[in-house]
Structure 1
Amino acid sequence: MRLLLTSAGIQNATIRDTLVELLGKPISDSRALCVPTGIYPFPGGAELAGRLIRGQTQGPLCDLGWKSLGILELTALPSIDEGVWTETVRAADALLVWGGDPLYLSYWMRRSGLADVLPSLPETVYVGVSAGSMAATALFGETYPEPPHGTGSPLSTEHLTFPTPDGVAERTFVTARGAGLVDFAVIPHFEHEHHPDASRHNAQTWAGKLPVPTYAIDDESAVRVADGTAEVVSEGLWTLFEPAS
């Protein structure tokens, strides 16, 4: 499987050109499936999912001019004949896995069976956005004001205090398993003013708790993965944090 792991979608020409290169053909000739599942735990999640599908979100994704666009709802898959939905997935050129809660999303990627199918799709391009990028990894970390419930068991939890522009924030740092498509972690929204947990200082602390290389990428950057090789494509800021020895 080829991957394009973004922070906020196809934000610039460099990321868009990389998507076309991974597809091997124009977007207008490519079939896509959108996965909005990760957004549902957030307040207004259903409305946000609707805006994504209508192409009304800030980061271009569904509105790129795809030949066809379908919706793959992971929470529905366990109740559908596996042969039906896997045929749909295999026919897609791209899976557009949106953001939200990475713990919830990764749980449903495994619970639905999608995580087991993805490694058998060498020509499909997995396009992750924020939590969609995090959930593709073997291991990821995320911070929560309170640990979430009902979405599987995190591997570990740890109380942390993060500096923010307004003072400090009390958070629980959760380490969890993703779909295992890559052997590194991703921190999206690097140095974004509205994501203080992903400031350079906080991202370094966050990455230091993961035993894998960690790419911190801003909204103008993405990690391209093809033939097992990862490289950053960027018109913005990014950093690779190596695990502590």
Structure 2
Amino acid sequence: MRALLTSAGIKNSSIHDALVDLLGKPIAESNALFVPTAIYPFPGGAGMAWQAISGKAPSQLCQLGWKSLGILELSVLPSIEEAAWVPTVRDADALLVWGGDPLFLANWMRRSGLTDLLPTLRSEAVYVGVSAGSIAATSTFVETYPEPPRGNDGPLKSENIVFATSQGDVDRILVTGQGAGLVDFAVIPHLEHADHPDASLANAERWAARIPAPTYAIDDETAIKVTDGTVEVVSEGQWKLFQP
């Protein structure tokens, strides 16, 4: 399976062209499934999911002009027969995995069976991640939380830490989690974004030091393109690779 891991969706023409190249055909000829699951732990998550599905979210993804677009809600999959949803995933040209809480998303990817299914999908199918959707595609990731995350989401490790931001020092809980392992590197999105003040370059370096794999810190104008194991950075913005 191919991958396009983004911070904020298809933000510029370079990332758009990378998606078309991975698909091997126009978006208008491609069938996609959208996974909103990660957004539900946030207040107003249901409304934010609808904004993304209806194309009203600022991040470009569902509104790109797909031939068809379906919804794959991971939290319902354990309660239905695999025969009802697995063929649909296998037939999809693209799996669009939205942002939100990466621990929650990674947990439901495992519980739904999607984590085990991903390596068996067609080699030309494309996993498109946005923020948490990109984070959860990796083997090991880190994320910060203002309060302890839910224990049933399976964090591997957590620690209290103080991060310096442009608005002053902030106390956070740094959690190390386990993702789907679709790629052998980690991703830190929203680098130097005003709405994500703890995702500074200096803090990203501290996060990356806790990950036993190469870690890409990327801003919203950057994506990581993976084709048959070959990794390429597609960027009209800022990014940095940290080695373990």
For 2:191, the equivalent position in structure 1 comes to 190
SS of residue matched to 1:189: coil
SS of residue matched to 1:123: coil
User: Separation in 2 of the partners of 1:242 and 1:123?
Assistant: 29
User: Separation in 1 of the partners of 2:43 and 2:128?
Assistant: 24
**1:154-233 residue pairs with structure 2 within 5 A?**
154-233=155-234
User: Separation in 2 of the partners of 1:233 and 1:51?
Assistant: 26
For 1:69, the equivalent position in structure 2 comes to 69
Contact 1:55/1:63, CA 8 A, preserved across alignment: yes
For 1:236, the equivalent position in structure 2 comes to 237
Contact 2:167/2:197, CA 8 A, preserved across alignment: no
For 2:8, the equivalent position in structure 1 comes to 8
- 1:125 maps to 2:126: yes
User: Separation in 1 of the partners of 2:42 and 2:22?
Assistant: 31
User: Separation in 1 of the partners of 2:222 and 2:188?
Assistant: 11
User: Separation in 1 of the partners of 2:135 and 2:33?
Assistant: 18
TM-score, length-normalised on structure 1?
0.98
1:193, distance to aligned residue in structure 2 (A): 1.3
For 1:19, the equivalent position in structure 2 comes to 19
User: Separation in 2 of the partners of 1:100 and 1:76?
Assistant: 18
SS of residue matched to 2:225: strand
**1:4-153 residue pairs with structure 2 within 5 A?**
4-121=4-121, 122-153=123-154
Note the alpha carbon deviations across 1:116-155, whole angstroms, 9 max, x for none.
1111112210000000000000010000011211433211
Note the alpha carbon deviations across 1:58-85, whole angstroms, 9 max, x for none.
1110000000000000001001111221
Supply the AA of the counterpart residue of 1:226.
T
Contact 1:160/1:173, CA 8 A, preserved across alignment: yes
Contact 1:103/1:151, CA 8 A, preserved across alignment: no
User: Separation in 2 of the partners of 1:151 and 1:222?
Assistant: 30
- Figure out how many residues of one structure are paired with residues of the other and give that number: 243
Supply the AA of the counterpart residue of 1:218.
D
User: Separation in 1 of the partners of 2:23 and 2:114?
Assistant: 20
Note the alpha carbon deviations across 1:30-85, whole angstroms, 9 max, x for none.
00000000000001000000000000011110000000000000001001111221
User: Separation in 2 of the partners of 1:30 and 1:200?
Assistant: 36
User: Separation in 2 of the partners of 1:35 and 1:144?
Assistant: 22
Contact 1:37/1:75, CA 8 A, preserved across alignment: yes
User: Separation in 2 of the partners of 1:152 and 1:129?
Assistant: 20
User: Separation in 1 of the partners of 2:106 and 2:154?
Assistant: 11
User: Separation in 2 of the partners of 1:120 and 1:31?
Assistant: 18
SS of residue matched to 1:132: helix
Percent of aligned positions with the same letter in both sequences? 66
1:209, distance to aligned residue in structure 2 (A): 1.1
Contact 2:141/2:187, CA 8 A, preserved across alignment: yes
TM-score, length-normalised on structure 2?
0.98
SS of residue matched to 1:195: coil
